[in-house]
Structure 1
Amino acid sequence: MENFDLTPEEAAIIGSTHFIRLKNSAIEKVMGLMGNLQTALAAYDRETDFPFEPEWLLQGGKISKGEQYKGLPWVMLDYPRYFSKSDVFAFRTMFWWGHYFSATLHLAGKVKAHFSTVLEEAYMKLAEAGFQVYLQENPWEHDFENGNYCFIDKLSLHEWKTLVSRNDFIKLAKPFVIGHWGEIITDVVAAYATLLSILDNKKGA
């Protein structure tokens, strides 16, 4: 028979509105932070000469939130954001309750193929900048647990080139400590700038 008895901790929390109100307030502040981050990323785009294809920016930014990414609340900003049935150019910033912020560049389809040679040649730059590469076959996992990601500097050049060519997508990412709240926008924009510089292959990262 299923047990519906509450633990002492559960019994204490369901009788109070305080935690839920604090949680909702915190999520609203994360949403506001993501809005400011989008503004900062867009400002960087206006200043860079990165050769964006028009469609990569036309979809605009999107901020979304939910309650159940592996049982915990999350907030996500996709900017720039281009998703078609087969092609992706997206920079995704995610807040995952109790864990971290993360910044992820997701390339797929023709977009990924366009940058494959540049990515292979960027092994040292990406490794030195502290980026991690996604290892799994399903591109829609977002966390760094369960062997999803590996630091690029832990791979040999041959292993890196194999990963770049293995799938029709690639994801490069960095996590950021939640406790560094005041630096998140600066840190994420810096990661974005580094990635664009590497993809552009004309400026030092």
Structure 2
Amino acid sequence: MKNFLLTPEERQVAFDAGWIYHKNSVINKVMELMGAVHRQLEAQLQTALFPFPVPCLQQGGKISKGERYKELPYVILDYPRYFSQEAVWAFRTMFWWGHYFTCTLHLAGTVKAGYVPALQAGYAQLVAQQVQVYMQDDPWQHDFENGNYRPVATFKPQEWETWIEQREFIKLAKPFALEIWEKIIPEAVACYTTLLAVISYK
């Protein structure tokens, strides 16, 4: 079989450089957008007041991009962020080509353990905000396909408390349609401040 032969659709793409220029322009604009999200998160009063693990704000924000998350381009902002072998505290804003934006709070290891009571107590608030929780064992999957996420609202309160207690890491997230492109900055800020409020509970 001649696997190098092009389909009609592939020929149309391969012979037209224009779409690549548009794609590169889109990615550049997403990078700018993530920079704006970073500045807005950094400027929030909650960022100044929240008792982050010390390295979180010291490390600053990081914007990264790639071409092949599930074979599609992506851009990620991690801010605030702290990644180590023992613990993770990260708020991640992600653009996934052709799908959606996502905002995710990732807590793992020794960091996660300290937030268990607040996460349990925050059940009603998470339900009200339509937050979803990651269900798989590999923490580095980011999409909402294949049962990766489940709405917190589908847990009974006691089930939620047990789930939070038993997991080695927790990822709380919300997807946002690409159609709200112009509104993703305030939506990301709202998600961030909501999740900070939940884990600030004492």
Same fold, TM-score > 0.5, yes or no:
yes
Instruction: Bin the TM-score by the shorter chain.
Output: over 0.9
Distance in structure 1 (CA, Å) of the matches to 2:47 and 2:20 = 41
Match of 1:112 in 2: 112
In structure 2, the CA distance between the partners of 1:149 and 1:47, relative to structure 1 (3 Å rule), is closer
Match of 2:33 in 1: 33
Deviation at residue 110 of structure 1 after TM alignment: 1.1
Query: Which aligned runs of 4 or more in structure 1 are off by greater than 4 angstroms?
Result: 45-48
Match of 1:3 in 2: 3
TM-score by length of 1: 0.95
Deviation at residue 53 of structure 1 after TM alignment: 2.9
Q: Which runs of 5+ in 1 are unaligned?
A: none
Tell me whether 1:166 sits opposite 2:166 in the alignment.
Answer: yes
Tell me whether 1:71 sits opposite 2:77 in the alignment.
Answer: no
Deviation at residue 7 of structure 1 after TM alignment: 0.8
Match of 1:140 in 2: 140
Q: Which runs of 5+ in 2 are unaligned?
A: none
> 1:6-155 alignment to 2 at 5 Å?
6-45=6-45, 48-155=48-155
Distance in structure 1 (CA, Å) of the matches to 2:172 and 2:196 = 12
> Aligned partner of 1:19: which letter?
W
CA contact (8 A) 2:46 2:196 kept: no
Deviation at residue 157 of structure 1 after TM alignment: 1.2
Structure 1 residues 107-146: Cα deviation after superposition (integer angstroms, max 9, x where no partner): 0111100000110111111111110000001111000000
> Aligned partner of 2:119: which letter?
L
Distance in structure 2 (CA, Å) of the matches to 1:195 and 1:46 = 11
In structure 2, the CA distance between the partners of 1:163 and 1:2, relative to structure 1 (3 Å rule), is farther
Deviation at residue 51 of structure 1 after TM alignment: 1.7
CA contact (8 A) 2:46 2:193 kept: no
Tell me whether 1:180 sits opposite 2:180 in the alignment.
Answer: yes
Distance in structure 2 (CA, Å) of the matches to 1:166 and 1:193 = 25
Equivalent position SS for 1:179: helix
In structure 2, the CA distance between the partners of 1:162 and 1:185, relative to structure 1 (3 Å rule), is same
Distance in structure 2 (CA, Å) of the matches to 1:132 and 1:46 = 22
In structure 2, the CA distance between the partners of 1:46 and 1:158, relative to structure 1 (3 Å rule), is closer
